[in-house]
Structure 1
Amino acid sequence: MADVVGSARETVPLGVSRPDLEVADLPTPEEAFRVRRLGPKELVKFAIGPSLIALGISIGSGEWLLGPQAVGQYGFVGVGWVILISALLQTFYNVECSRYVMATGEAPVVAWGRVPPGWFLWVPLSVFLVIFAFIAGGWAASAGQGVYALVHGETAGEGAEEPRLYAIALLVLVVLITAVARKISRALELTNWGLVTFILVTLLVVDLVLVPWDIWWDGIRGFVTPASPPEGISTSQLGGLAGFTALASGLNWYVMGHYRDKGYGMGHRTGYLSGLRGERTEVLPSGVTFPDDAKNQALWRRWYRLLLTDMWGVFFAGAMLGMLLPTILMSRAVEIAGEGPTKANVPTFVAEVLKGEYGSFVFYIALAVGVCILFSTQLGIFEAMVRVTTDAANGVSPRLRRLIDSDPRKFYYPFMILLLIAISIIIHQALPVGLVEWSANMSNLGALIFPFMLMYLNSKLPRPARPRPWHYVILVLNFLFFGFFFLNFIVDFFGDPLVTF
């Protein structure tokens, strides 16, 4: 971690209830990534990364479970446009969350503590919302079903215990990946490079071979055809699809803290979470910002262009491809089977149908892709729950920092084990897709809260980093779009929905 400031420590206030931000120059991208020149090769090798972690989570439950389930039951028209709007709004939202991280080096969960009335409300509430939304473990449970089928050559019966044991084993694998890492974010990036490449390339080849061109066209056309939602689709199902297309709607901020660990902007000055094999590193409990002068204005523009490249070129493009390829394969499977999937069999529906039509080889390929998709999601989400809680505790509790000797790993790993035990219990309580659908609708709750908090924070950044007026409009649209689905879900949960389809 680079020096924060010189001997004379200038500070500036931002918000309430948190320490003032220290002031230092923005680093150059070359300084942050330790390269002489940031060309195309260096861009791919060193700068791209946080978007891959987000994409690894993105190509998951929405793309392999909820999206294909909706398309398999109701077709593309009336479903596809919800997917496109959700992905567009979420990518804009991701950029705005990351804007704050780059300008201050603070993880969003700590930043929320600067919003009135203060950290004592927003930091614990934010941690609770993330854990409440994602602790269900539906991705691990669904992946466990896929592993069972890979081992036995057939899908498990409803309520079988062995798939749940495989799910727990996959959670243990996440612990091992972070434990052997020198830098946890880097380990996640490299793992997702492998997983995402395998998923997209394999799906593309399988779809080109097995899916007729008319289904390809139906899928692409469905994204850009505004239409009423299909008759009979439930409020929870459509809200879950909106929430888990791309990432997690209003809760996407829980992943954007990786830009700090990657060293984007002022994140280079504030530290990162290291693994057990890495050096002991301190994560500053409060952020650092930059002065408004010509030098830093120019540097900010460079960093912002890198952020846009990472988010739109990798995350958005990958998320749309990651939704198209599984859904058209599902559509082909429904065409073959003559019926759609159910909540109970959607994790392995495509593999079973393709096995009957094309043989065991395609069956195992489809299962392997499904397991990788769902594991990449669980990898990111499980680690993120631990990361958010660690950042929050380290940021607001001087007593904890003294107890752990300013080494966040001493909190990170014990909490990860505790969370693993909790998820292992919860995945025994419901069908995997039911757990995922609940999580997706809970993520929409964040859209009622965090866009407005982000507007408050970003409006107080150094002038070069502040959003333009139309960025605020996009954040309001996030509130309206995802907030509608959450309110409809809640009303439907307790009675009749506000809107039926």
Structure 2
Amino acid sequence: MTDVIHPSHPLGVSRPDLAVADLPEPEEVFHVSRLGPVELFKYAVGPSLIALGISIGSGEWLLGPQAVGQYGFVGVGWVILVSAVLQTFYNVECSRYVMATGEVPVVGWGRVPPGFRIWVPLSVFIVIFAFIAGGWAASAGQGVYALVHGEIAPAGAEEPRLWAIALLVLVFAITAAARRISRVLELANWVMISAILVGLLLIDLFVVPFGIWWEAIRGFVTPAAPPAGITATQLGGLAGFTALASGLNWYVMGHYRDKGYGMGYRAGFLAGMRGPRKELLASGVTFPDDRPNAARWRRWYRLLLIDMWGVFFIGALLGMLLPTILMARAVELSGRRPTQADVPTFVATVMGAEYGRAMFVGALVLGVLILFSTQLGIFEAMVRVTTDAAHATSPRLRALVEGDPRRFYYPFMIGLLVVIAVVLHLALPVSLVQWSANMSNLGALIYPFLLMYLNSKLPRPARPRWWHYVVLVLNFLFFGFFFVNFIADFVGDPLVTFG
């Protein structure tokens, strides 16, 4: 298809107008003659897997099982389901902007009044501040220690932190070895998520009675008040890290640009050290409002819905269901409940005592995979968001790196690794994860409204329908409540207690 260049498209303030070109056909992007079911899952599915790799992690292996282990399914499961539904809608709306403009969200926020000098640095700060605590890394380190030594680490042990740092170095190595960073993350998550879900399903079928399965499913679909004794901070952490990271989910949706979805194909991608020197546009590209492009947009939007609802949403629910019922069985077998200190290895310890060392090792391996997939996605995403923001907004930086964002990406990743290595020593892993999850809820007070502004100004075929705005407001109300309560609890008394 020959590209037709059109006049530019103004969008928002303080950023250059979007260039205008035709949307590509999916077959052009994925280099296939026809996009059937096999080609769909071979080539088009991908960004949802990176998001799912982060999703099936701290919330699903730590906060969800801890809450269920302490308080049961009723009241907790309902929060999980509502959170997953709202977050998947939110993910679709964030990705809508990426597909329609080729700009990642952190760059798009700079188009919202008063402009990029406020929103871009603030957004980078919020993402790093939310995740730099490193609970996801510390928990993975605890799992590796138990796998190596055959026992959980003693309180305050240094070796689990060293393992956590070693896993951060492994993330650096994986991205450095890539030709296209997003693609290697997809492939790694295909392997890890498949192993995690199949492994958990087999263990659950073997050890979890039907009664617990039914209680969990009933808890997911039964509206109920939160259980007595649970704090709103715990519940907010669970809500924030169910599915992904509530109001901060946008920090992962930029992978749709690198995958080539919609106008992302025109904008470029972040290459790895082995990849070609690839130009990454500093400003986005959108499409003309005409009938051929509207038809292509509908095709891309259907692919997005399949990726998000068919892969991410279903995977996120399974990723929460399977570990939580295993935790419920572990609580039933042991007669005790997990604590913040032992929740990363609680299931493995109990199952090992009941079913032998093979079960202990198997549960630990799954736990390490779950937490490392989170570590891989979060660590890379912090670097990616900062790189995209700096590259798009600083002509001086673009000149310094000679238009090659890798020259910023990898040095920044090394610097961030050093900082996280220091922060890891400050608190228990689950305490750090709860902090990150509640900080993610802060994003729900801000970004749904920025997203409504941006998406309302897209070419008409790409604009949301009225009820999409309603769902974004529901995100604000649901997750925003938990953040406000978290701050009230932090400085004094919580707004709500459950008795």
TM-score interval w.r.t. the shorter chain?
A: over 0.9
Shift of 1:9: 5.4
Q: Which amino acid aligns with 1:416?
A: M
Q: Does 1:270 align with 2:259?
A: no
Please, which of 87, 106, 110 is the counterpart of residue 84 of structure 2? 87
Q: What whole-Å deviation, never above 9, does each CA across 1:343-381 have from its counterpart, x for those lacking one?
A: 000000000011111111000000000000000001000
Q: Which amino acid aligns with 2:216?
A: G
Cα distance in 1 between the residues matched to 2:225 and 2:298: 41
Aligned positions, number: 498
Residue 354 of structure 2 corresponds to 357
Q: Does 1:151 align with 2:155?
A: no
Contact 2:63 2:237 in 1 (8 A): yes
Residue 246 of structure 1 corresponds to 243
Residue 180 of structure 1 corresponds to 177
Please, which of 349, 352, 364 is the counterpart of residue 367 of structure 1? 364
Residue 318 of structure 1 corresponds to 315
Q: Percent identity?
A: 77
Matched position secondary structure for 2:243: coil
Please, which of 421, 433, 436 is the counterpart of residue 436 of structure 1? 433
Matched position secondary structure for 2:236: helix
Residue 422 of structure 2 corresponds to 425
Cα distance in 2 between the residues matched to 1:461 and 1:409: 30
Shift of 1:38: 0.6
Please, which of 161, 181, 186 is the counterpart of residue 164 of structure 1? 161
Shift of 1:12: 1.2
Shift of 1:60: 0.2
Residue 337 of structure 1 corresponds to 334
Cα distance in 1 between the residues matched to 2:286 and 2:352: 56
Cα distance in 2 between the residues matched to 1:12 and 1:26: 14
Please, which of 376, 379, 385 is the counterpart of residue 379 of structure 1? 376
Matched position secondary structure for 1:10: strand
Please, which of 113, 116, 138 is the counterpart of residue 116 of structure 1? 113
Q: Which amino acid aligns with 1:105?
A: G
RMSD of aligned C-alpha atoms? 0.9
Cα distance in 1 between the residues matched to 2:486 and 2:11: 36
Please, which of 12, 17, 29 is the counterpart of residue 9 of structure 2? 12
Cα distance in 1 between the residues matched to 2:218 and 2:232: 23
Residue 202 of structure 1 corresponds to 199
- Matching of residues 282-321 of structure 1 within 5 Å: 282-321=279-318
Q: Which amino acid aligns with 1:466?
A: R
**Structure 2 length as normaliser, TM-score?**
0.99
Q: Which amino acid aligns with 1:195?
A: M
Shift of 1:493: 0.5
Q: Does 1:141 align with 2:132?
A: no
Residue 402 of structure 2 corresponds to 405
Q: Which amino acid aligns with 1:48?
A: V
Please, which of 446, 449, 452 is the counterpart of residue 446 of structure 2? 449
Residue 254 of structure 2 corresponds to 257
Q: Please list every run of 5 or more consecutive structure 1 residues that lacks an aligned counterpart in the other structure.
A: none
Residue 101 of structure 1 corresponds to 98
Cα distance in 2 between the residues matched to 1:276 and 1:496: 50
1:400 to 1:9, Cα distance in 2 relative to 1, 3 A: farther
Q: Does 1:466 align with 2:466?
A: no
Shift of 1:114: 0.2
Matched position secondary structure for 2:275: coil
- Matching of residues 474-493 of structure 1 within 5 Å: 474-493=471-490
Matched position secondary structure for 2:230: coil
Cα distance in 1 between the residues matched to 2:25 and 2:111: 27
Cα distance in 2 between the residues matched to 1:365 and 1:139: 20
Cα distance in 1 between the residues matched to 2:497 and 2:145: 37
Contact 2:6 2:288 in 1 (8 A): no
Cα distance in 2 between the residues matched to 1:134 and 1:304: 30
Cα distance in 2 between the residues matched to 1:236 and 1:292: 46
Cα distance in 2 between the residues matched to 1:323 and 1:259: 24
Shift of 1:236: 1.2
- Matching of residues 213-228 of structure 1 within 5 Å: 213-228=210-225
Q: Which amino acid aligns with 2:370?
A: I
Cα distance in 2 between the residues matched to 1:439 and 1:367: 23
Residue 192 of structure 1 corresponds to 189
Shift of 1:275: 0.2
Q: Does 1:232 align with 2:225?
A: no
Cα distance in 1 between the residues matched to 2:341 and 2:85: 30
Cα distance in 1 between the residues matched to 2:69 and 2:82: 20
Cα distance in 2 between the residues matched to 1:440 and 1:139: 11
Cα distance in 2 between the residues matched to 1:204 and 1:288: 43
Q: Does 1:52 align with 2:49?
A: yes
Q: Which amino acid aligns with 1:485?
A: F
Cα distance in 1 between the residues matched to 2:450 and 2:290: 27
Shift of 1:34: 1.0
Matched position secondary structure for 2:277: coil
Residue 38 of structure 1 corresponds to 35
Cα distance in 2 between the residues matched to 1:39 and 1:225: 37
Q: What whole-Å deviation, never above 9, does each CA across 1:221-242 have from its counterpart, x for those lacking one?
A: 0001111111111121100000
Q: What whole-Å deviation, never above 9, does each CA across 1:247-282 have from its counterpart, x for those lacking one?
A: 000000000000000000000000000000000011
Q: Does 1:21 align with 2:18?
A: yes
Cα distance in 1 between the residues matched to 2:444 and 2:426: 27
Q: Does 1:396 align with 2:393?
A: yes
Q: What whole-Å deviation, never above 9, does each CA across 1:374-423 have from its counterpart, x for those lacking one?
A: 00001000000000000000000001000000000000000000000000
Shift of 1:186: 0.1
Cα distance in 1 between the residues matched to 2:143 and 2:455: 43
